[in-house]
Structure 1
């Protein structure tokens, strides 16, 4: 029996101005056309509307989002005094500012966290003006903080960048710092639970971290999409739908035993089950 009635996959963006098309926000669905909101605030509103409709229809929803939900073990404790990633979620939700035109203070928050940590770990300032305590280039390694989370090292094939990297090709750190606050608000308003940090099994809405590049090889040559981002979110949503309909989705939610600090670092949905995701994506595209 399927665990979810609807599955949505979100490609996030930390863009500083409204934008659409490639390298912008895409919301893919297992049953509808992908949406391409021009701002983060608009994306949050669209997701909220979809969840409200699903709740009224008695439907259970899985939302996968393509940025890091956690940070390397020790970061949350150094910034908030609490080791769990959810404490850092609340911290960012309280301080992050993001307006109708995508103007965000995430770089200032990264600099502030660097000061709290005692030396820079977040890096990658893409602005022309300097920002104190936010280096443009990668700083020396912190003696007590790993650069990557365990889940990033477990992915076979293409691997995500460190959540400390805020700019540059393939970087995900800025998406996390801008996205976590919006998901925290969605969590609070929609009775959502965050996997694997919270008790999610019976929640009407489950938020999970995904890495669409897991199925990147299957998407080569895919037609009918405006850009790779649209293809990724659409095909991954439909691939997860296939697994759920075949009663094969639940195993990919199992905690990965290679992750020793799961509550701080989190886990990418599908680690250890890459082959199943890729097979399902290939079936979607045939």
Structure 2
């Protein structure tokens, strides 16, 4: 199992950040290439589409890695879609998320998800000025919490946050809500050409893979002591670390159960990834 190109994407759920490259935006890195800054998700989706088209045209195997969860804790997909299929949840979200460079409806969609369950929750973190019924600002205001709040991967990755938190320090839930619809559109645009890891066999020319650069945060910091934009450094470093792995080791990293929660590539192999940056 070999890959001709490995690309890492640092995602963002925020609004258009303007033409000047900055942190907390979308950064894309590929081994041996300068990082690409995308000021909004529409531009990032266009860049990804072109990259996939180029790989398919030249018959190259392409791995696209994204730093947000591909699944939710066990049972959530069935509660929403009636199926234990995380990709059905991707489709559900793509049909409901409205996205524009300066605004999106992620908080309202999260509130609609909360209304499916009794009480208040499990999503929290209303980051808007207006009040949104059924979406509390604080996690402590919830009366409905998922029976297992973290995915197994998050329980094993020190510092990983829950997917239910949508705003404030460390929040990752908004990235999931705004990222999965984009991946679903890519799957639809290239039917039969894209596989989603670990839910599907990697027998197609393009793979979508979940990563978390913070797995090797210390190694990235050592390799880039003068970098002022952490996101820019981590996409390049993780892409380089993954590309430097021998085929057998990368195959070991990819060899995980096809669990509905998904997984983080490289979890449990942090030493091998960090060593590649030494």
Q: Normalising by the residue count of structure 1, what TM-score does the alignment of the two structures yield?
A: 0.90
Aligned to 1:259: none
Which of 229, 233, 251 is 1:227 aligned to?
Answer: 229
Aligned length: 271
CA contact (8 A) 2:118 2:144 kept: no
Determine if the alignment matches structure 1 residue 182 to structure 2 residue 166.
no
C-alpha displacement of 1:18: 3.3
Deviation at 1:193, TM superposition (A): 1.0
Q: Which residue of 1 aligns with 2:11?
A: 12
In structure 1, the residue corresponding to 2:179 is in which secondary structure? helix
Q: Deviations over 1:49-89 (max 9, x none)?
A: 11111111110000110001111111111111112211111
How big is the alpha-carbon RMSD for the aligned residues of Structure 1 and Structure 2?
1.7
1:92 aligns with 2:93: yes
- Map of 1:255 onto structure 2: 256
- Displacement of 1:117 in angstroms is 2.5
- Residue 274 of structure 1, CA deviation: 1.6
Alignment of 1:35-54 (within 5 A): 35-54=36-55
Rounded to whole Å, the distance in 2 between the matches of 1:253 and 1:105 is 34
CA–CA distance in 2 between the matches of 1:59 and 1:270? 23
Does 1:280 find its partner at 2:271?
no
Match of 1:61? 62
Gaps of 5+ in 1: 257-261
Verify the 8 A CA contact 2:23 2:231 in the aligned structure 1.
yes
Unaligned ranges ≥5, structure 2? none
Question: Whole-Å Cα distance in 2 between the matches of residues 128 and 68 of structure 1?
Answer: 27
| Map of 1:107 onto structure 2 | 107
In the TM superposition, residue 159 of structure 1 has moved relative to its aligned partner by 2.3
Mapped partners of 1:35, 1:267: distance in 2: 26
* CA-CA distance at 1:220 after TM superposition: 2.1
Q: Is the 8 A contact 1:21 1:226 kept in 2?
A: no
Contact 1:92 1:181 in 2 (8 A): yes
Equivalent position of 2:2 in the other structure: 3
Is contact 2:215–2:267 with CA below 8 Å preserved after alignment? no
TM-score by length of 2: 0.92
Preserved contact between residue 73 and residue 145 of structure 1 (Cα < 8 Å): no
